[in-house]
């Protein structure tokens, strides 16, 4: 928790210090990871495994009582909560502070919109997009667009997404031309 505090106290110009602190806080950290402060983590990130090129916007909360596995090139919008901990519904058990912990796994190239809540035991497949404000209570397959409370798959990613970047707004170039421009 002290390291998370130090991380959150860094100034925007202290990128090197942030980079030094991340591997001290997390169980494992790939290359090219960036987390905008503030960051919140129950166990200071000690149960969190980050792949390569993970980006998290402001206010990522990781309830890391159990393991959280985050793949490569995952993007988190602001105010996302990933939780591995829960409590039984039976009131007599909650009186005794009963808790369970289930791992969360997020695949590669996943985009998680702002204010998404990911519940214990969930696995999210590669390339999936989760819409802002969604509450993910069940596993999501790869190549899906999922939204809502509770979060449900509304469609798979397909040819439409290679033509349009937002609703009916088409790319000026083909996806192949855009990819060529990035290389």
Structure tokens at 144: 């899906």
Question: C-alpha dihedral over 158, 164, 166, 172, to 10 degrees?
Answer: 150
Distance CA 157, CA 129 (A): 9
**Active-site residue set:** 87
Distance CA 67, CA 151 (A): 22
Place of tokens 């170039």: 173
- Backbone φ and ψ for 4, nearest 5 degrees, come out as -65, -40
Place of tokens 């707004």: 169
The one-character DSSP state at 111 is E
* Residue pair 119/136 in contact by the 8 Å Cβ criterion: yes
């Amino acid at each position: 928790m002290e390291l998370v505090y130090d991380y959150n106290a860094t100034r925007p110009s202290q990128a090197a210090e942030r980079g030094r602190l991340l591997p001290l806080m997390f169980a494992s950290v790939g290359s090219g990871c960036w987390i905008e402060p503030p960051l919140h983590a129950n166990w200071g990130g000690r149960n969190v495994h980050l792949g390569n090129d993970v980006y998290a916007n402001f206010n990522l909360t990781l309830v890391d009582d159990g393991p959280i596995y985050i793949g490569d090139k995952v993007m988190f919008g602001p105010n996302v909560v990933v939780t591995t901990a829960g409590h039984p519904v039976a009131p007599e058990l909650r009186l005794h502070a009963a808790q369970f912990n289930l791992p969360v796994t997020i695949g590669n190239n996943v985009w998680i919109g702002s204010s998404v809540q990911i519940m214990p035991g969930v696995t999210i497949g590669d390339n999936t997009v989760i819409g802002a404000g969604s509450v993910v209570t069940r596993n999501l397959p790869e190549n899906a667009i999922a939204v809502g409370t509770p979060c449900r798959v509304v469609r798979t990613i397909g040819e439409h997404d290679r033509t349009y970047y937002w609703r009916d707004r088409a790319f000026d170039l083909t996806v192949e031309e855009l990819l060529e421009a990035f290389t």
